[in-house]
Structure 1
Amino acid sequence: MASKFQQLQSKACQASQLVAKHGTSYYKNLLETNKQYIQEPPTVEKCNLLSKQLFYTRLASIPHRYETLHKELDYVKQLWKNRHELKVEDAGIAALFGLECFAWFCAGEIVGRGFTFTGYDV
């Protein structure tokens, strides 16, 4: 156990040395390549303005998203009406999509419980 701790400690030391050596140049390079996204002057007021713009822009996009949702639901209704013409591939894709939704639900439940599994005596 102590040897694993020493290995972990040496790996952490190597990683911190790497960050100390190359971190500044990476940071400067990152800012330089993305300078078109940086707002000048970088003040608290500018950050507050941008956050409000983002919030209200998202709020304004809700009607369009709602309309898109209705179009998608109408498409699903049409598929359900014509389900006798449904191909095996389409049914398989729908089943996989449903399975994926269920898996994300289960993962969210596990994360919400603090990564604990309930119902098992361990």
Structure 2
Amino acid sequence: MASKLHQLRSKVAQASQFVAKHGCEYYKQLLVENQQYIQQPPTVEKCNELSKQLFYTRLASIPGRYESFWKELDSVKQMCKNRGDIKVEDAGVAALFGIELFAWFCAGEIVGRGFTLTGYHV
């Protein structure tokens, strides 16, 4: 346990040295590359205004998303009604999607249990 703690400390020290050496350079490069997204003047008031714009824009997009959801659901219902017309490719995509959802669920459960497979935590 003590050796792992020592290894962790040395890795953290190396990472902090790297950040101290290259952090400012990376920060300046990032700002130059993304200059078009920076609002002038960069004040707290401008940040508050932008956050409100984002919030209310997202709020205004809900009806469109709601409508899209129901259209998608209707198309799924139509596919279920016409099961005989479903192509093998469509069924394969649906099966892969279901498997992916199940895998993400399993991964979430494992993470939620502290990365243990049985739930027993030592």
TM range (shorter): 0.7 to 0.9
Hey, what does 1:69 align to over in structure 2?
A: 69
Q: 1:58 to 1:114 in 2, by over 3 A?
A: farther
Q: Judge which range, 78-87 or 2-11, deviates more.
A: 2-11
TM-score, with normalisation over the residues of structure 1?
0.80
Counterpart of 2:12, as a letter, is A
After superposition, the C-alpha distances for 1:52-93 in whole angstroms (9 at most, x for unaligned) are: 100110111111111111111111111111101222332232
CA drift of 1:107 comes to: 4.7
TM-score, with normalisation over the residues of structure 2?
0.80
Please list every run of 5 or more consecutive structure 1 residues that lacks an aligned counterpart in the other structure. none
Hey, what does 1:19 align to over in structure 2?
A: 19
Count of residue correspondences? 121
Q: 1:115 to 1:2 in 2, by over 3 A?
A: closer
Hey, what does 1:56 align to over in structure 2?
A: 56
Hey, what does 1:30 align to over in structure 2?
A: 30
Q: Percent identity?
A: 70
Counterpart of 1:77, as a letter, is K
RMSD: 2.5
